[in-house]
C-alpha cells in the first residue's frame, strides 16, 4: 500500500509539472476518462474530466480522501461475491424512480475538483441542495434535498445547458431510474454510502458518445431520435422539450468508493450468451443501474444550444450517494429485487397487492 501511495505521489507530481510546461508553451493535454468496457485499466492520477480552466484534475487531500491519493477505500469492503449467472423468474420490470428537481447551478465538482470552488465548468445540480466543491459524505448527509423522498440526499449533477448565454434548467422533478443492470435482478444490493462516480466524459469523441455502453436514446425532441448532437431545430410547441436518457455502470469492485479517474471502480455488465447480462469478475457486486431521463424546456432554433462542457456529445453526469441506508434498502428490496415497476414511493400501480415501500410522505412507514 505504501509503495502504491509513493507511486501515485510521483505520478501526480509529474502530471502537475507536465501541465505547467504545457501551459507555458500554450498547449493542453486533456486525458479521456471514459470507461467503455468492464476491463478497466489501473486508475491513473489526473484522468478526470475537463474543467472550464482547461487543465486535468489531479487528486488532492480533502474531505473523504485525507491522503490525497484519489482512492477512497470502502469500509468495510465487500468480498467473496461471485457474479450470478442464474436465470431468475422472468419479469419485465425491476426498478423504482428517484424524482429530483434542480436546486442550483455553479462551477463546482466535488468529485473531480473536491475542495476547489470554481475549478469546473458550470454544473446543474439536482437532489441535495447543499452540493458544492466542499461537499463530503458527512456534509451531504446533513444537507437538504430537492427529491420527493426525504431519505434521498444524494447529489446528482450534469453540465449546465445554455441557449446562447441563457441558462436552461430542467423544470420540476426529473426522472432518475434505479434499475437492475444484470439479468439476475435478485442479486442487486444498495449503494454503499459515499460511493461516487462519473458517467461518460466531456472529452469523449462523438463516436465514443454514440457507442458508449450507457447510451439509450441520445438527444431527442419532437420526432427526432438518437441524435449524437443537438438537433438543428425542434418543433416550437409548449409540450416539446429536449430529452436525453443515459445509463450508468452498475457493477462495483467492492473495494473503493472512488478511484483517481472516478470510473475504474465501476463497470458495465457484460453479455453472457444471447440474453444474459452479468457483472464481470473484476467488478462482481451488482448495484442499482442509474438512468438519467432529463428534459430541458428548449425548442425552436437549436443552433445556439450548447453545454457548459461543449457540444452535445460532451454530455456526462456525476453521482454521489448520500441516501439514508434504510430507505434505499427498502426501495431496492421491494422494487428491484421484488421485480416491480415502482414510482418514487416504491408503489407499482399494476401490482397494488404488493403495497408500497414508503408512505404518502415518501418516508419509511
Grid coordinates given for 27: 498547449
Residue 359 lies in a domain: no
Q: Which pLDDT does position 59 carry in this prediction?
A: 78
Instruction: Give residue 275's domain range.
Output: 2-354
Grid coordinates given for 165: 448565454
Q: Which pLDDT does position 60 carry in this prediction?
A: 85
Per the structure, the count of domains in the chain is 1
Q: Which pLDDT does position 56 carry in this prediction?
A: 52
Residue 364 lies in a domain: no
In 3D space, the residue among 193, 126, 142 whose CA is nearest the CA of residue 327 turns out to be: 193
Chain centroid to Cα 96, Å, comes to 16
Q: Which pLDDT does position 16 carry in this prediction?
A: 36
Distance CA 187, CA 190 (A): 10
Residue 362 lies in a domain: no
Strands 277-278 and 305-307: unpaired
Distance CA 340, CA 185 (A): 11
Residue 360 lies in a domain: no
Distance separating the N- and C-terminal Cα atoms of the chain: 44
CB atoms within 10 A of CB 240: 17
Q: Which pLDDT does position 238 carry in this prediction?
A: 87
Structure confidence by residue, pLDDT tens digits, 3-26: 443 344 443 443 334 333 333 333
Residue 365 lies in a domain: no
Q: Which pLDDT does position 107 carry in this prediction?
A: 98
Residue 213 lies in a domain: yes
Residue 274 lies in a domain: yes
Q: Which pLDDT does position 323 carry in this prediction?
A: 98
- Within 8 A by CB and 6+ apart from 269, the residues are 38, 181, 182, 250, 251, 277, 278, 279, 280, 286
Residue 361 lies in a domain: no
List the pLDDT tens digit at each of the 365 positions of the chain.
Answer: 444 433 444 434 433 343 333 333 333 333 333 333 333 333 222 233 333 333 457 778 999 999 999 999 999 999 999 999 999 999 999 999 999 999 999 999 999 999 999 999 999 999 999 999 999 999 999 999 999 999 999 999 999 999 999 999 999 999 999 999 999 999 999 999 999 999 999 999 999 999 999 999 999 999 899 999 999 999 999 899 999 999 999 999 999 999 999 999 999 999 998 789 999 999 999 999 999 999 999 999 999 999 999 999 999 999 999 999 999 999 999 999 999 999 999 999 999 999 999 999 999 99
In 3D space, the residue among 252, 202, 205, 336 whose CA is nearest the CA of residue 77 turns out to be: 252
Amino acid at each position: 500500500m505504501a509503495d502504491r501511495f509513493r507511486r501515485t505521489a510521483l505520478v501526480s507530481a509529474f502530471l502537475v509539472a507536465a501541465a505547467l510546461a504545457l501551459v507555458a508553451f500554450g498547449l493542453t493535454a486533456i486525458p479521456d476518462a471514459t470507461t467503455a468496457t468492464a476491463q478497466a485499466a489501473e486508475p491513473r492520477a489526473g484522468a478526470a474530466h475537463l474543467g472550464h480552466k482547461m487543465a486535468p484534475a489531479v487528486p488532492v487531500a480533502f474531505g473523504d480522501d485525507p491522503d490525497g491519493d484519489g482512492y477512497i477505500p470502502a469500509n468495510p469492503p465487500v468480498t467473496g461475491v461471485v457474479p450470478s449467472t442464474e436465470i431468475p423468474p422472468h419479469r419485465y420490470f425491476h426498478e423504482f424512480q428517484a424524482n429530483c428537481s434542480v436546486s442550483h447551478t455553479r462551477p463546482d465538482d466535488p468529485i473531480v475538483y473536491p475542495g476547489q470552488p470554481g475549478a469546473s465548468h458550470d454544473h446543474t445540480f439536482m437532489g441535495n441542495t447543499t452540493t458544492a466543491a466542499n461537499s463530503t459524505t458527512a456534509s451531504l448527509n446533513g444537507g437538504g434535498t430537492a427529491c420527493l423522498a426525504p431519505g434521498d440526499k444524494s447529489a446528482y449533477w450534469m453540465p449546465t445547458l445554455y441557449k446562447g448565454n441563457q441558462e436552461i434548467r430542467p423544470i420540476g422533478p426529473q426522472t432518475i431510474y434505479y434499475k437492475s443492470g444484470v439479468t439476475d435482478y435478485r442479486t442487486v444490493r444498495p449503494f454503499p454510502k459515499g460511493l461516487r462516480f462519473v458517467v461518460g466524459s466531456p472529452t469523449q469523441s462523438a463516436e465514443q458518445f454514440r457507442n458508449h455502453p450507457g447510451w439509450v436514446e441520445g438527444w431527442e425532441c419532437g420526432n427526432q431520435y438518437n441524435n449524437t448532437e443537438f438537433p438543428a431545430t425542434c418543433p416550437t410547441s409548449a409540450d416539446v422539450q429536449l430529452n436525453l436518457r443515459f445509463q450508468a455502470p452498475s457493477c462495483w469492485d467492492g473495494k473503493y468508493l472512488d478511484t483517481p479517474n472516478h470510473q475504474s471502480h465501476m463497470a458495465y455488465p457484460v453479455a453472457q450468451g444471447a440474453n444474459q447480462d452479468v457483472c464481470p469478475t473484476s467488478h462482481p457486486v451488482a448495484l442499482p443501474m442509474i438512468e438519467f431521463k432529463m428534459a430541458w424546456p428548449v425548442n425552436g432554433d437549436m443552433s445556439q444550444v450548447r453545454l457548459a462542457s461543449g457540444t452535445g456529445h460532451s454530455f456526462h453526469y456525476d453521482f454521489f450517494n448520500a441516501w439514508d441506508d434504510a430507505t434505499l434498502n427498502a426501495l431496492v428490496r421491494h422494487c428491484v429485487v421484488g421485480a416491480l415497476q415502482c414510482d418514487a414511493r416504491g408503489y407499482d400501480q399494476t401490482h397494488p397487492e404488493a403495497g408500497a415501500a414508503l408512505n404518502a410522505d415518501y418516508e419509511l412507514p
